[in-house]
Structure formats: structure tokens, C-alpha cells
Amino acid sequence: MAKQKFETSMKRLEDIVRELETGELSLEDSLKKFEEGIKLSRFCSNKLDEIEKKVSILVQSEEKEVDFISETEKDSDVD
């Protein structure tokens, strides 16, 4: 199975929502689409959580680096 991508999954999820909103699917087909949509929704949610954690780590890392640089500059100003 090919690696699933967030953008592709979101597009498919949007398509499923449109299909379900038409009301033209049979109950059985609607249930299948709904199940697929739930799986895609979970995948996208997990992917967003993963990215949010990475961004948070990067921001914290950057803040520590800035704090370190500021402290270093303060120390060098004392001389």
C-alpha cells in the first residue's frame, strides 16, 4: 500500500462528505462511505497531532536557542 498523504486524505474526505450530503446513496453505500470517512478523519487528526508536536518542539528549541544567545550576549557585555 502506498504511503498515505494528508492532502490526498483530506480531499477524499471532502469528496465523501459531498457524496453523503447528496442523499442519493443507498443505506449500505452510505455506511461504507461513512466508515471510510471515519478512517480518513482519524488519519488526518493523527497526522495533525504529529505535526503540532513537531512544531512545538521546534518552537521550544528555537526559544531555548534565543535564550542561550541572549545570555551569552549579556555575559560578553559584562567584560
What's the domain count of the chain?
A: 1
In a domain, 62, yes or no: yes
Residue 74 lies in a domain: yes
Give the percent of the chain with pLDDT over 90: 65
**Alpha-carbon span 60 to 20, nearest angstrom:** 42
Confirm whether 49 is domain-assigned.
Answer: yes
Q: Looking at the predicted structure, is the pLDDT value of residue 1 above 80?
A: no
Which whole number is the average pLDDT over 39-57? 94
pTM to 2 decimals? 0.70
- CATH of residue 38's domain is 1.10.287
Count of C-beta atoms within a 10 Å radius of residue 6: 14
| Residue range 2-36, pLDDT digits in tens | 578 999 999 999 999 999 999 999 999 999 999 99
Cα 11 to Cα 27: distance, rounded to the nearest angstrom: 23
26: left (phi over 0), alpha (psi -120 to 50) or beta: beta
Residue 38 has pLDDT above 50, yes or no: yes
Residue 41's domain comprises 6-78
